[in-house]
């Protein structure tokens, strides 16, 4: 099983990295095309779980315990059978 | 238009951050469930482009010029109309 976890800052939390990249894109001449930039992490896990439900449960536990900082971050999990 | 850019290390490039997270998951008791961990970035852009083709073209330019380090990283782009 493969789990893809996308972790991103909650709405309203200042994304300073995104602001910096937005500014850099401005300097490179993309100012007119870009309205906003947000930056998150994508974690790809190869799991030994047998079922999709088990994989999702394990991945959720990992997110809560280590991968995401749930005070300021949200996450979503996609499980696929590859 | 919204563009989601996933940037990840090419196959064969050592992912030290992924190794560290794998090790941390081992320590937390997830050792049996996790076979591999890879960590990438997810960049979400709000674009002023009018068409999907234009949005994809602009985003590809941004990736090549700033967002991705194409020597060691690959990227994929998803455009949606939101």
Q: What is the pLDDT of residues A2-37, one digit of tens each?
A: 999 999 999 999 999 999 999 999 999 999 999 999
Identify the domain containing residue A44 by its residue range: 2-80
pLDDT tens-digit series, residues B15-63: 999 999 999 999 999 999 999 999 999 999 999 999 999 999 999 999 9
**Distance between CA atoms of A42 and A77, rounded to whole angstroms?**
10
pLDDT band at A82 (very low <50, low <70, confident <90, very high): confident
d(CA A46, CA A67): 15
Q: Determine the pLDDT at residue B28.
A: 97
ipTM for this prediction: 0.89
**Residue A44: which of B80, B29, B76 has the closest Cα?**
B76
Chain centroid, CA A48 distance in Å: 22
Domain harbouring A71, CATH code: 3.30.1280.10
Interchain CB contact of B44 with A (< 8 Å): yes
What's the total number of domains in chain A?
1
pTM of the predicted protein model: 0.91
C-alpha pair distances (Å), B80 with each of B10, B41, B75? 25, 19, 17
Query: In Å, how far is B74's CA from the nearest CA of chain A?
Result: 13
Contacts of B66 in chain A (CB under 8 A): 21, 24-25, 28
Is the Cβ pair B43, A44 closer than 8 Å?
Answer: no
Nearest CB neighbour to A42, from listed B30, B35, B42? B42
Would you call A66 and B25 a contact, using CB atoms and an 8 Å cutoff?
yes
Q: pLDDT for A36-78, tens place per residue? A: 999 999 999 999 999 999 999 999 999 999 999 999 999 999 9
């Amino acid at each position: 099983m493969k789990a893809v976890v996308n972790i991103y800052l909650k709405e309203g939390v200042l994304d300073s990295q995104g602001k910096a990249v937005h500014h850099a894109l401005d300097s490179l001449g993309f100012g007119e095309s870009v309205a906003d930039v947000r930056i998150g992490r994508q974690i790809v896990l190869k799991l030994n779980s047998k079922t999709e439900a088990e994989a999702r449960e394990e991945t959720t536990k990992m997110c809560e315990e280590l991968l995401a900082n749930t005070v300021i971050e949200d996450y979503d999990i996609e499980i696929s059978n590859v």
